[in-house]
Structure formats: C-alpha cells, structure tokens
Structure 1
Amino acid sequence: MDLERVASVIRETAAAEMVRQFADLDPGDIGEKSPNDFVTAVDLAMEVRFAARLPDLLPGSVLVGEEAAAADPGVLDRLGEDRPVWVVDPLDGTANFASGYPLFCTIVALVTGGETVAGWIYDPFSERMASAERGGGAFMGERRLSVVRPADLRNMNGAIYGYRFRTSSAYREIWGRGRGRLGHCFNTRCVGQEYLARLIGRAHFGLYTRLNPWDHAAGCLLHEEAGGAAAMHDGAPYRPLGPRQGLLVAPDWDIWRQIEADLIRPASV
C-alpha cells in the first residue's frame, strides 16, 4: 500500500470541501442524524469524493463511510466481507466544525479480514498527517512517531468519555477515581484529534465507550504502531467489528494495566 497516495487524496478532499467551507456554512447546511449528532453538507460532500476516489487506489475494495452507515446500517456488513474496506470519517468533530471551532480532522482506515492494516488521520489546519501500515511503524511525514510515557501518572493527560456513558453512575465514578491520580482529563468532541495529541506527546491515554469503527480503526493502529497499548476493557484486542463499548489506550502495557485496575475494574464490580 502506497501510504502517500492515500494521504494525497485526503489532503485534496479536505482542501476542496472542509477548509474551503469552514466558518462559511448556511443554517440549512447543518442537520442532526439524532439528538446532538450533527451532520453538515461538508460531511456528505467529502464522503462522496472519498467513495469516488479511494476504491480506485485498490481494485476490488469498497468503502464504509460514517454518513452512509447512518443512512443504512447494513453498510457495516461490508466489514465482515473478504474484500478490502476503506473506513472513513470524512469530518470527525462535526459539532466543532459546525460551530466554527477549528478542532476537527479526517480519519481513514483500510480494513482487511476484519483487521485494520493501514490508517491515516489528517488535521487540515496544522497540516499534520499521521499514517501507519501494520508492522511498519507510525509516521508524521518523515518523522517516526513514538508515544510519550510520563514519569508520573499525575502528569498524564487524556480523554475519558462516551455519549451514553456520560450520564451513568459508572462514568461519574471513573471520573472521581481519576481525579488526583491522573493529570487533566478532557473531551475535545473529536476523537481523531485526541489520537493525534497522543502521537505527538500532548496527551497520553484515552478511555472510550462509543466505538464506531470510523472513529477508532485508524487511531488504534497508529497508537499501537507508535509503541502504545490499546485493548478492550477485558484485555481483548480492538477490532473494527468487535464490541462497540469499552476501549482503553495508554502509553504502554504497565500503565494500561494500572488504569484498568484503578479506574475501570472497580466500576464493573
């Protein structure tokens, strides 16, 4: 797989739609798929462009996009087929984009046989493009990426959130146990930007309970290829077709086990 050819398609698509129309949407360009789950004309236009271009890069491949899956959940069945599948979130962080807040990105993964084999995350404003191929490491341009392990857990920053989990007692308990043991906990409303932050050392861990494949397939691969640890709460490997709740990513397996024991395990008792 030529990672740069895919990266070029991502950059060109972002420039044509996302960057050009940022902070210039009409009210009619913004809608809701469900309460607080936004979609814009830019999401839709970008997904159409990706559907037209990405399959041409790999004969026989098909595409699963967030917006197509929202309209027809049966599209997700493609992930179980033998054909290579492009998994695309054309505009991750749509709520930020729609409100004029410049924290969003594009996420693309290539899945074969139910396993992520390549991934890309692109921030159009910083022009950071992270890419990885399984077994080949994670890169940002020519620079090989390596996650950062703080010497003290209290200096570790990261994300703890989930749409439905937010209102549960277990979620509040996890937040409470993390206070004082970990550093700053946040929610950017853009999972792809959180993966990028971990790849460049600005964040260190993430606890997620809403696992759409277009949000995490590329990011998990990038994190692992940069030397990080990622697994479901029970220790099982993340898979795009796997359970839809309960993912923890951390700088290494020692920290992963410590966060799991201190924050997650007590909530499941």
Structure 2
Amino acid sequence: MDRVAEILAEAAAEAVEPRFRALAAGEVMEKAPGEVVTVADREAELIIERRLRELLPVPVVGEEAVAADPALAQALHSEPAVWLVDPVDGTSNFIAGRPEYAVMASLVRSGQTVAAWIWQPATATCYTAELGAGAWRNGHRLTRTPLADEPAKWRGTVKSRFLDPVHRRLLETNTTAFGEITPGRHAAGVEYPDLTEGALDFILYWRTLPWDHAPGSLLVSEAGGVSARLDGSPYRPEAPGGEDGLLVAADPESWERIRGILLGC
C-alpha cells in the first residue's frame, strides 16, 4: 500500500506539479469532443504504468491509454488482476489553475476493487483504502458518520452533464427535497473524499468511467458508506460504455432514502 502511494506522489512531482499553472502553448490538446488532455496527464500515466508493473506485473488500464486504444479496457473483464490509473483526475481544474485535482490508482481482482489510492498534490493528502481493512487519510482511519437529520438538511452533488432530458427534469424537481445541491468539484478524486469526511452527504453520478470511480467507491464503502448502482447492486468497475448511474451516500439507510427521493419512488 505504501509503495503505490509513493509511486503516485513521485509521478505527480515529476510530471504534474511542475506544470501546474505553468502549461505552455501546445501542452493542452482535445482527445475527443469536449474532452481535453495535457502533456502532464500523458507523462504521469507512463511513469505510473511502468512503476506499477515493476511492483505487480499485471495489465495497466490507464485513462489516456484507453483513449488511444479502447480495447485495452477489456482487461477489466478478461484478466484476473488489473491496475486502474487516472494520472490527473480533474484535468479541467488543473488546466484552469484550480487545486482540486488528484492522481489516482486502484487494483482490481476478479472484477472487484481491492485497493485504492488518491493523491491530492495541492494539499499533500493521501487517501487509501483496502478491501476489508478500512479507509485512511495520511495514516488516520476514516469512519463516515451516518446521517441522522432529515433530508432537508442533507447536502449533495448531482452530476447532470450526461443525463438525458427526462432524468434531468425528474432530478431538478426531486432534489428540492434536500438542503443543498452543489454542482460538484469537477474531480471524483476530491468529491469522494469530501463525502467520506462529511463535507457531502451524497453524490449522484451518471457516467461512471472506471478509473474515476473505482478508487473513491472503495474509499467510501470502507469508511462505512455505500457506493451502488441505482438498482442497489454494489459498484464494480466496468469498461467504458457499461452501466450508467451511481449513487454514493453516507450510510445504507440514507442511501435507500436518497434513492427513493431522487427517483420519485
């Protein structure tokens, strides 16, 4: 666990942090319509991939490698063990000079996330989780307090960018039952820790790319929260194009109540 945390911090120090608020012309590119990437993303992923393979020689499914060759993501279904890597989560924040970004990795065995790491360079904060062994921030055990108040006092984030118009209208109506709905921090590697530490009570995601959600989902669940599909099935990382919709909440009871309110059932 410690060595992977070191690898992420080292890659960030080598390839990411020197370019924070210092990206040169031509170092930001569009990899798909509406999706940007920087040289920091690509260089950090190469560093992390090489060093993770030295630690455990299994396939590495990185966000930027999959952008170039989508077939690589099928290793999540065909291989017994896979590394997942997001070299700069929150790239739009990074480009804009905002500190809400993270470097993330997770280890998936037989389709289940068994270990996760989130490194936030701006604050030198490392979040880790291991299946059955808990969630941690810089070596301190994290436990999420269950929600006791009424929904009118709960604070959540609803990520609506990829929602279809019907679901968007439904949620716009039903989220009025909660105390506060925020647009999010544009980085799963910041939002999941926010929920784990009590700054948020729930998050609804629609698109669920595996490198974005495997680390945080394990962090939340190991702290006592819930990360599950809208039908109640536990989150498992899937190749892009898989199931949509993921609700993350502070505890099992509040997850059920929040789902009922959001979906109107």
Q: For structure 2, which runs of at least 5 residues remain unmatched after alignment?
A: none
- Residues 75 and 148 of structure 1: is their aligned pair in 2 closer, same or farther, counting only changes over 3 Å? same
Q: What does the per-residue CA deviation read over 1:148-188, in whole Å, with 9 as the maximum and x for residues that have no partner?
A: 334322332222114321x6231232132112423232221
- Residues 162 and 178 of structure 1: is their aligned pair in 2 closer, same or farther, counting only changes over 3 Å? closer
- Paired-residue identity, %: 37
Asked if the contact 1:148/1:204 (under 8 Å) is kept, the reply is no
SS at match of 1:79: helix
Asked if the contact 1:62/1:85 (under 8 Å) is kept, the reply is yes
Give the alignment of 1:90-105 within 5 angstroms.
90-105=87-102
Give the alignment of 1:104-119 within 5 angstroms.
104-119=101-116
The letter for the 2-side match of 1:85 is V
Asked if the contact 2:175/2:181 (under 8 Å) is kept, the reply is no
1:51: Cα distance to partner? 1.2
Asked if the contact 2:157/2:203 (under 8 Å) is kept, the reply is yes
1:23: Cα distance to partner? 0.5
The letter for the 2-side match of 1:208 is Y
Asked if the contact 1:14/1:46 (under 8 Å) is kept, the reply is yes
d(CA) in 1 for partners of 2:79 and 2:34?
Answer: 34
1:230: Cα distance to partner? 1.5
Q: Does 1:23 align with 2:18?
A: no
1:253: Cα distance to partner? 1.2
2:82 aligned partner: 85
Q: Does 1:253 align with 2:252?
A: yes
Q: Does 1:139 align with 2:136?
A: yes
1:80: Cα distance to partner? 1.4
How many equivalent pairs are there? 262
Q: What does the per-residue CA deviation read over 1:118-139, in whole Å, with 9 as the maximum and x for residues that have no partner?
A: 0011111111111011000001
TM-score, normalised via structure 1 length: 0.93
2:30 aligned partner: 32
SS at match of 1:239: coil
The letter for the 2-side match of 1:244 is E
d(CA) in 2 for partners of 1:95 and 1:135?
Answer: 34
Q: Which of 205, 211, 232 is the matching residue for 1:235?
A: 232
Q: Does 1:244 align with 2:251?
A: no
Q: Does 1:41 align with 2:39?
A: yes
d(CA) in 2 for partners of 1:248 and 1:207?
Answer: 5
1:106: Cα distance to partner? 1.1
d(CA) in 1 for partners of 2:174 and 2:264?
Answer: 11
Asked if the contact 2:108/2:114 (under 8 Å) is kept, the reply is yes
What CA RMSD, in Å, does the superposition of the two structures yield over aligned residues? 1.5
1:202 aligned partner: 199
Q: Does 1:55 align with 2:53?
A: yes
Q: Does 1:264 align with 2:263?
A: yes
TM-score, normalised via structure 2 length: 0.94
Q: For structure 1, which runs of at least 5 residues remain unmatched after alignment?
A: none
- Residues 246 and 8 of structure 1: is their aligned pair in 2 closer, same or farther, counting only changes over 3 Å? same
d(CA) in 2 for partners of 1:100 and 1:34?
Answer: 22
1:121 aligned partner: 118
Asked if the contact 1:162/1:210 (under 8 Å) is kept, the reply is no
The letter for the 2-side match of 1:74 is A
- Residues 164 and 179 of structure 1: is their aligned pair in 2 closer, same or farther, counting only changes over 3 Å? same
